[in-house]
Amino acid sequence: MNRVEADLHVHTSCSDGAHTPEAVVLLAKERGLAAVALTDHDTIGGLAEARAACERAGIVFVNGIEMTCRCEGRDVHILGYLFDEANAALGASLARFRDRREERGREMVAKLNALGVEIAFDEVKKISGNAPVGRPHVARVLVASGAVKSVDDAFRRYLYDDGPAFAPASTLSAPEAIALIRAAGGVASVAHPVLYRGRPSAETLVEVLADAGVAAMEVWHPKHGPEETQRLIDLAKKYRLVETGGSDFHALAYGGVAPGDAGVPLETVERLRALAA
C-alpha cells in the first residue's frame, strides 16, 4: 500500500452520498487525513460548504467532480480537480446534465412500453418528486405495477447498464468531459479504470483518454485488487499520468468504506496543482 494522506474521491448528500459536505470533511479530519477532495457525481453543489469546513478543520481542500460520460459505448467516470468553479461552460454542461435526467427517464419508460411493459412516466415522477429521475425510481414503478418482483429484479431484467430498457445518463463523451475540465483550468483523471467490467478495458480506456488530454489516473481505490493496482501503476508510468486515489466513500452504512481507506501522499496534490492552470 502507498502512504495515504489525501483522499481524492469522496461523495456527499449533494449526489448519492449519505452525509453532508461538512460531515464528510469532519470524518476525513477524524481519520487523520491532511487533505480531501470532494468529487460528487455531476455537481459542484457541495464544494463551497466543504471548503469552509476544511478551513475550520485545518485540512487542505481540493475541489473536484466525478463526471459521467460515454466512452467506447459505455458509461465511464472522469474525475476533475482544481478547476474554476465559476467557469460558464462547465456550469452549462452540468445544468444540461440535470435536464437530461428527465429526458432519460422518458426514454427508459418508452423502451419498457416497446417491450410490452405498460408503465407511465407520470408514475415515475410521482416517486422521484423533486429529486433527479433515476433508475431506482423506474424500478419502483415496475415493482408497483407487478412487472417485476423487486427493485433488484427490475435492474437484473431491464435496467442494468446497457440493458434492454437502459438509457445513458450522459450524452457527453469522455473527451468532451476532459476538454471541459481542462478549459476550466482543471486536471482530469480517469476514475477506477478497472471497474467497467472489462468493457472498455483499462488499457483501451487509458490509451483513448491519454490522447484526449487526461493527465492523471485513479490507481488507488478500495475495489482495486493488488494485481489490478500494479497493472495501473504500470499503465500510469507508460502514459506519464499522475497516480490519484481515494476511498470513493458514500456512507458509513454501506460496506464499511471510510474516508482514507484509499488515497495518496500529500505530494500528489502538489503535482496536480502544478498541472492546473
By CB under 5 A, residue 161 contacts Mn ion: no
CB of residue 66 to Mn ion, shortest distance in Å: 5
CB of residue 5 to Mn ion, shortest distance in Å: 20
Considering only 16, 72, 203, 234, the residue that binds Mn ion (CB under 5 A) is 16
CB of residue 173 to Mn ion, shortest distance in Å: 17
CB of residue 135 to Mn ion, shortest distance in Å: 12
CB of residue 70 to Mn ion, shortest distance in Å: 14
Residues in contact with Mn ion, total (CB under 5 A)?
5
Residues 191-230 that bind Mn ion (CB under 5 A): 191
Grid cell in block for residue 105: 427517464
Of the two residues 16 and 203, which places its CB atom closer to Mn ion in the complex?
Answer: 16
d(CA 224, CA 184) in angstroms, rounded, equals 30
Of the two residues 50 and 109, which places its CB atom closer to Mn ion in the complex?
Answer: 50
**Which residue's C-beta sits nearest to Mn ion?**
77
Considering only 5, 7, 49, 248, the residue that binds Mn ion (CB under 5 A) is 248
Residues 71-90 that bind Mn ion (CB under 5 A): 77
Distances in Å between the alpha carbon of 76 and those of 73, 123, 148, 264?
A: 9, 29, 28, 22
Of the two residues 16 and 118, which places its CB atom closer to Mn ion in the complex?
Answer: 16
Where does the chain have alpha helices with state H?
A: 21-30, 47-57, 88-114, 121-128, 135-145, 151-154, 174-183, 202-211, 226-238, 266-275
Cβ within 8 Å of residue 237, ≥6 positions away = none
Of the two residues 6 and 148, which places its CB atom closer to Mn ion in the complex?
Answer: 6
Q: Are strands 6-10 and 64-71 parallel, antiparallel or unpaired?
A: unpaired
Residues 30-69 vs Mn ion: string with x where CB under 5 A?
Answer: ------------------------------------x---
Number of H helices, E strands in the chain: 10, 8
- 108 and 125 Cβ atoms separated by less than 8 Å: no
- Shortest CA distance to 219 belongs to which of 251, 248, 182? 248
d(CA 165, CA 153) in angstroms, rounded, equals 13
Q: Which window, 10-18, 150-158, 214-222, 237-245, contacts Mn ion (CB under 5 A)?
A: 10-18
> DSSP letter at 13?
T
CB of residue 247 to Mn ion, shortest distance in Å: 9
Q: What is the DSSP string of 94-110?
A: HHHHHHHHHHHHHHHHH
Of the two residues 18 and 276, which places its CB atom closer to Mn ion in the complex?
Answer: 18
CB of residue 179 to Mn ion, shortest distance in Å: 20
Grid cell in block for residue 217: 489516473
Residues that bind Mn ion (CB under 5 A): 16, 66, 77, 191, 248
